[in-house]
């Protein structure tokens, strides 16, 4: 396993400092090129840190806007907000995550009962197909926990339309190996490639595009399905109301619960709580019914160790790696807590665990950044992006960590 992403806030800030001077013209002109492992310096490679909020979206945006105008760095700013948009879109339609999980369970059942499908699925996961570029990306993902965004799109398109494998199995392969994999961005991006997200419009990988943006490293001429039809699927479920988050009662005895979706607790502590104890929630197993890659679990656990070490003086007694509602309830009751305070967990494994904690009230406090942005994820991204200037303006003066 190649270590490209030390799981610490210090490493994240150093990476941000190196990238910020390149976030405007350099990024705009070079961002689509996939130059291979160890050569991704044309993009930020901040996504594993932002995904876990070792650094926040607001911090990244503030660093870039401290150097460039919003128009000069428009492309990079939009990429930051894509992650925000995907989270908001899924938060308003959580049934899509449940449908993906059901689809994955069905696809996995077929893998176990259909030998031909199992052989093809295993070959794709191992990078042992007849398509060299696809094999390279499969191996790079397993080796590094990262893929360039353009390579992710090509890979997903080839998986779905050329190899004709269930899209849910491909999304699962990514979630099990990507350091930045999360339910919203991963699931909805795969749906977008398949033609299910923007219904009737799929993304098609083409040999000429791959050749251009890998600078000739790969050119899968005559190997890719040329004009595949988008997949059929049900209409989007009705939108739910956006979450508002809970208010913290500062007079109650509190414990703090950290989870992988938000590892910057300063904004919660700044609200005035003094937790008698803190625990970390590890819900990684909920990402997939299959084995999660060791580098993914290690990144999450080491990132949690980093945050509890940095904030040790304000967290009280620390308990690592709770994983079930029963464990959380026992821990909170042992500390005679009146409430469990935690950052609002978006749709995914952490939210599922927290929703089943009953014995002690769970107070889910919502970041102002999310509270302002998510309600605008009602339709496509191009409608959402019209709100970006307003969201940036509202961000000024907010606590970012």
Considering the domain architecture, whether residues 265 and 354 belong to the same structural domain is answered as yes
Considering the domain architecture, whether residues 121 and 196 belong to the same structural domain is answered as yes
User: From CA 282, how far away is CA 303, in angstroms rounded?
Assistant: 11
Average pLDDT, the chain: 96
Task: Classify 213 as helix, strand or coil.
Answer: helix
Query: pTM for the complete prediction?
Result: 0.96
Considering the domain architecture, whether residues 49 and 105 belong to the same structural domain is answered as no
Q: Between 149-157 and 183-194, two packed helices, what is the crossing angle to 10 degrees?
A: 50
Q: What is the CATH number of the domain that holds 333?
A: 3.40.50.620
User: From CA 96, how far away is CA 225, in angstroms rounded?
Assistant: 28
Q: Do the domain assignments include residue 25? A: yes
Q: Do the domain assignments include residue 240? A: no
Q: Do the domain assignments include residue 264? A: yes
User: From CA 257, how far away is CA 327, in angstroms rounded?
Assistant: 12
Give the pLDDT of residue 296. 98
- Token pair in block for residue 383: 């409608």
Q: Which of 187, 213, 239 is the last residue of a domain?
A: 213
State the residue range of the domain holding 378: 9-92+374-395
Q: What is the CATH number of the domain that holds 191?
A: 1.10.579.10
Considering the domain architecture, whether residues 130 and 195 belong to the same structural domain is answered as yes
Considering the domain architecture, whether residues 175 and 262 belong to the same structural domain is answered as no
Could you say which residues of the chain have pLDDT below 50?
398-401
Q: Do the domain assignments include residue 4? A: no
Considering the domain architecture, whether residues 332 and 259 belong to the same structural domain is answered as yes
Residue by residue, DSSP assigns 84-117 as HHHHHHHHH-THHHHHHHHHHHHHHHHHHH-HHH
Give the pLDDT of residue 395. 84
Nearest to 68 by CA among 55, 78, 58, 77: 77
What is the per-residue pLDDT across 205-215, written as a single tens digit (0 to 9) for each?
999 999 999 99
Tally the domains of the chain: 3
User: From CA 315, how far away is CA 309, in angstroms rounded?
Assistant: 9
Q: Do the domain assignments include residue 232? A: no
In sequence order, the 6+-apart residues with CB closer than 8 A to the CB of 94 are 240, 347
Give the pLDDT of residue 399. 43
Q: Do the domain assignments include residue 230? A: no
Q: Which residue reads 């990988």 in tokens? A: 205
Beta bridge partners of 318: 278
Q: Do the domain assignments include residue 157? A: yes
Give the pLDDT of residue 3. 67
Give the pLDDT of residue 4. 87
Output Rg (C-alpha) for the chain, integer angstroms.
21
Contact indicator for 135, 142 with CB cutoff of 8 Å? no
């Amino acid at each position: 396993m190649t270590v490209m992403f030390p799981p610490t806030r210090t490493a994240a800030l150093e990476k941000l400092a190196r990238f910020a001077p390149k976030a405007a013209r350099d990024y705009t002109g070079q961002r689509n090129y996939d130059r291979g492992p160890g050569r991704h310096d044309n993009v930020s490679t901040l996504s594993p840190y932002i995904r876990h909020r070792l650094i926040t979206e607001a911090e990244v945006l503030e660093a870039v806007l401290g150097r460039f105008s919003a128009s000069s760095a428009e492309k990079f700013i939009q990429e930051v907000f894509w992650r925000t948009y995907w989270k908001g879109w899924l938060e308003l339609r959580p049934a899509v995550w449940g449908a993906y999980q059901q689809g994955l369970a069905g696809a996995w059942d077929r893998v176990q009962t259909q030998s031909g499908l199992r052989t093809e699925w295993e070959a794709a996961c191992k990078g042992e197909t007849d398509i060299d570029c696809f094999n390279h990306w499969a191996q790079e993902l397993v080796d590094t926990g990262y893929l360039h965004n353009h390579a992710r799109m090509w890979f997903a398109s080839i998986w779905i339309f050329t190899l004709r494998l269930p899209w849910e199995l491909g999304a699962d392969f990514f979630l099990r190996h990507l350091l930045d994999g999360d339910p919203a961005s991963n699931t909805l991006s795969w749906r977008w490639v398949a033609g299910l997200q923007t219904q009737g419009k799929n993304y098609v990988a083409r040999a000429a595009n791959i050749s251009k943006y890998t600078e000739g490293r790969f050119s899968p001429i005559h190997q890719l399905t040329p004009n595949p039809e988008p997949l059929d699927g049900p209409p989007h479920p009705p939108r739910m109301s956006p979450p508002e988050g809970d208010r913290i009662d500062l007079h109650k005895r509190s414990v703090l619960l950290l989870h992988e979706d938000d590892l910057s607790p300063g904004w919660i502590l700044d609200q005035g709580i003094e937790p008698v104890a803190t625990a970390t929630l590890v819900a990684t197993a909920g990402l997939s019914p299959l084995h999660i890659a060791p580098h993914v679990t290690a990144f999450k656990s080491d990132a949690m160790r980093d945050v509890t070490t940095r904030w040790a003086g304000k967290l009280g007694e620390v308990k690592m790696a709770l994983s079930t509602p029963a464990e959380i309830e026992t821990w909170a009751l042992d500390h005679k807590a009146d409430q469990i305070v935690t950052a609002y967990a978006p749709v995914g494994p952490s939210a599922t665990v927290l929703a089943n904690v009953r014995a002690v009230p769970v107070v889910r406090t919502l970041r102002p950044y999310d509270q302002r942005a998510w309600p605008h994820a009602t339709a496509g991204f191009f409608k959402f992006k019209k709100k970006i200037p307003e969201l940036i303006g509202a961000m000024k003066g907010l606590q970012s960590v």
